[in-house]
Amino acid sequence: MASAAEQLAASLNLGAFAKATELKKRLWFTLGALVIFRLGSFIPLPGIDSSIMAQLFARNQGGLLGLFDLFSGGALGRMTIFALSILPYISASIIVQLMTSVSPHFEALQKEGELGRKKLNQYTKYGTLVLAMMQSYGIAVGLEGMTAPGGLSPVIDPGWFFRFTTVVTLVAGTMFLTWLGEQITARGVGNGTSLIIYAGIVARMPVAVANMLELGRTGAMSTAFILFVLLMMVVIITFIVFMERAQRRILVQYPKRQVGNRMMGGESSHLPLKLNTSGVIPPIFASSILLMPVTVASFSAGHGPAWLNRITASFSHFQPLYLVLYGALIIFFTFFYTAVVFNPVDTADNLRKYGGFLPGIRPGARTADYLDYVLTRLTVVGALYLAVVCLIPEYLIFHYSLPFYFGGTSLLIVVSVTMDTVAQIQSHLLAHQYEGLIKKSKLRGGRR
């Protein structure tokens, strides 16, 4: 009986999806935008010898350089026009959001509504442009100083013209991806920035799995260890899904009131507080903070000053400094982004405005304090969960030379973005069904 009901519900959803023309347009737009991103990640920079660049990256792909290549969808290793990916935009977004907490001008813009949001978005784009110019110039200079084992340079014709074309190309690629992400968010389904990073990771996962299976076929990796890795991935994904769906429901009561001869209200509802309110943003923010300066330093390693080489070595994968900073940044951005997206004072004011209250707690400041207390405890657990998921699998990656795609950070991004995108698709389907019901009721009303 239950299975029949589930099949009926599934058929209704498929029928609603077939009739949801607007949703299908959004899905096709999203797919087309991601295809453009993947095509661009194969267009090489002008003046680069691709074969020599592949040899250099194969030798230096460990540590944060390989992690950055993961987020760029392999564009960094191929040194293409999207080598910087969308990470300069993420770094600029972090700076602007931090400024809203310390600068009265930025704080006032944040409270101005749509006009203030557009102004902050403009500042973010300016910051993206500046960061992309600085990082692309550092990469251009680093590429000129790199040499392959045979003494060959990946740059065909070093000089100021190469630096100029590299800066212009990489900056244009980053700004195009920034625009593309905004278009996906506005005209597609899901968050454009997250989906671009998601597409880069997912596109290379099948190759990583195939390479691991090939190692098992040749005997370089035991079958038992491959099964253990696959089991570990299933366990991590299950744990992520469980934690992302976990929430604390706070009971909200609405008083009874008399409207004419009828008694209205008196019902109760729940205010859901997610265990991880910040979602996948903290690992992405933490990675972008660590990746950008160290990536530029990695291109200069070996021919730069001694202190720069020591810093680059300290940020290698599974080094204590890297682990401590990565975990600390994840915890910091979990609290910071949660404070940005959920304001207990505003929530308490909205509850009081509509007559809602928490049983046993006075409306107003007491309600705000209680919500802040509950949210802080949830955020502590959520921050520790994100840090554990992102750091624990690093042990296997480092000691057993597994690809980054099997790490907790990549799995967290893939699972979280998939869940958010599916939730948005379901919301569009539900809205389409409501529109259909409203149209039917209007037609029936007109016939009467």
Q: What is the pTM of this model?
A: 0.79
Residue 34, pLDDT score: 92
The helix/strand/coil state of 178 is helix
Q: What are 352's two structure tokens?
A: 């009081």
Q: What are 430's two structure tokens?
A: 């539900």
Walk along the chain (448 residues) and give the pLDDT tens digit of each residue: 444 444 434 444 555 666 677 888 888 999 999 999 999 888 888 888 877 777 777 666 555 566 667 777 777 778 888 988 888 898 888 888 888 877 888 888 877 777 888 888 899 999 999 989 988 888 888 788 777 667 777 888 888 898 899 999 999 999 999 999 999 998 988 888 889 988 888 887 787 778 778 878 887 778 888 888 888 888 888 898 899 888 888 888 877 665 556 656 567 788 888 888 888 888 888 877 777 666 555 555 555 556 666 666 666 656 677 778 888 999 999 998 888 888 888 888 888 887 778 888 888 888 889 989 999 999 999 999 998 888 876 666 666 666 656 667 788 888 888 888 888 888 877 776 666 656 555 555 555 5
Number of domains in the chain: 1
Give the CA-trace dihedral at 397, 399, 400, 403, to 10 degrees: 20
Establish if 173 belongs to a structural domain.
yes
Run of H or E residues at 405:
none
Establish if 11 belongs to a structural domain.
no
Establish if 4 belongs to a structural domain.
no
Establish if 12 belongs to a structural domain.
no
Establish if 353 belongs to a structural domain.
yes
Q: Cα 167–173–174 angle (5° rounding)?
A: 90
CA distances 408 to 26, 170, 233, 322, 413, Å, are 30, 29, 9, 15, 9
Establish if 294 belongs to a structural domain.
yes
Q: Are 335 and 308 in contact (CB under 8 A)?
A: no
CATH number at residue 260: 1.10.3370.10
- Per DSSP (E only), the strands in 303-368 are none
Residue 6, pLDDT score: 46
Domain that holds residue 345: 21-447
Half-sphere exposure of 126 (CA within 13 A, CB side): 7
Contacts 24+ apart (CB under 8 A), 232-241: 232/393, 232/396, 232/406, 233/406, 233/411, 236/389, 236/393, 236/408, 236/411, 237/411, 237/415, 239/389, 240/389, 240/411, 240/412, 240/415, 240/416, 241/415, 241/419
